[in-house]
Amino acid sequence: MEKKILAIACDHGGYELKEAIKAYLDGKNIEYVDFGCSGESVHYPEYAHKACAAIQSGQCYRGILVCGTGVGMSMAANKHKGIRAACCSDTFSARMTRAHNNANVLCLGGRVVGAGLAIDMVELFLNTEFEGGRHQTRIDMIADFEN
């Protein structure tokens, strides 16, 4: 079985939530690479790029990006070919973005959701399988737009 390593990154607005998510991942023995930041004021696109590049290269299989709202990180991440990033603030969306959209990056807002809800969403994001079928046709259409 292929080793699955998660990419995780944040800007200053998402630092505290990223640390809570890392504690959860550590407790579940889920491997990850932390691409930053360390809490200082930074530009979120730089950190989205680092994590997405790791997914594109195959170093990591999925990612979690956290900024103040999750929106900026999702916008930056979705500029990368092959990245399907979804900004979620509820468990239904976190589950369905995997089941129907085969999202490979979950974006969260550190100023929008608390740690408990975020961890529930991370768990759904990591454990929900893509349903394929008619949904694959739609993913293929998105890939065609990218190309």
Examine the residue annotation and report whether 100 is marked as an active-site residue of this protein.
yes
Q: Provide the 10 A C-beta neighbour count for residue 59.
A: 12
For CA atoms 88, 93, 95, 98, the dihedral sign is negative
CA atoms lying within 13 Å on the CB side of residue 115:
11
**Could you give the strand order of the β-sheet that contains 32-34, starting from the edge strand earlier in sequence?**
32-34, 6-10, 62-67, 105-109, 85-87
Q: Which of 60, 67, 87, 88 is catalytic?
A: 67
Cβ atoms 56, 83 nearer than 8 A: yes
Examine the residue annotation and report whether 107 is marked as an active-site residue of this protein.
no
Q: Could you give the residue numbers annotated as active site?
A: 67, 100
